Amino acid sequence: MQQRRNDRPSPPWKWRSFCVSGQGEEGKLLARTFEPLPKAASYFTKIEDLYFDADAPFDEDLGHIVLDGIKRDRYPHDFLDAYAGGFSEEEYLSNRESYLASLAERLDQDDAMYRRLRNRLKDAISLARKRVSWNYRAVVPQYYPKHNLMSFLLPISLVDDTKVDAALVVQSFLVDGKQRYQGYTIYPLAYAYRNARLVAKPISDWLDPERILGS
């Protein structure tokens, strides 16, 4: 990929073209300009960045995953309709940010409803971990550019156990030399696919771009 100086003050560079060194006009320019050529991006340094141990200890910050996820519009609306006391598309379209914040606050103040949603989410996470133990390809590595970290995406089935409709972001770390995992936040599938494809084309039966981006 080539860039050229921008005709606007910011950013200083803009995209020019995709090319292969030595091929075509742009490729010849690339070969004449850079020696050596830039190396391909590398996103991981150790096998633990790509391998998920389904039997390792696992924690999740359910409070953050639930409330922050609702405020950020990360959950399927039919799931919120079923487990968060109803969902109004009219109010959502009228003022999305305000409506989602009020939905999260309503849930936070209703212990029974909050517990019901949390339990459903915990069941979905438990099912996802079992799925990974059956099929290692069910977990998908992703790269987080902001903090230069690798993490994992677990398939989450919220509405129907047979249909994946979200992804849980999981970070791995070592405690006394032993692997442990922490669930941080939830992503809608389109967002999960965009992050995962930075590393490689996802090979899974649930993170399918034709089904996700075409819907």
Over residues 124-166, the pLDDT tens digits come to 999 999 988 888 888 888 877 666 777 889 999 999 999 999 9
Do 132 and 164 form a contact (C-beta atoms < 8 A)? no
Give the count of domains, the chain: 2
- pLDDT, average across residues 25-30: 85
Task: Output the CA angle 169-57-161, nearest 5 degrees.
Answer: 55
41 found inside a domain: no
- Name the residue range of residue 97's domain: 48-213
Task: Output the CA angle 110-113-114, nearest 5 degrees.
Answer: 75
Buried b / exposed e along 145-161 (16+ C-beta atoms within 10 A): eeeeebbbbbbbbbbee
143 found inside a domain: yes
Element (H, E) at 180: strand 178-187
> Tens of pLDDT along 70-99?
999 999 999 999 999 999 999 999 999 999
Do 158 and 124 belong together in one domain?
yes
Q: How far is the CA of 65 from the CAs of 61, 125, 189, in angstroms?
A: 6, 12, 15
In DSSP terms, 186 is beta-bridged to: 168
Do 28 and 64 belong together in one domain?
no
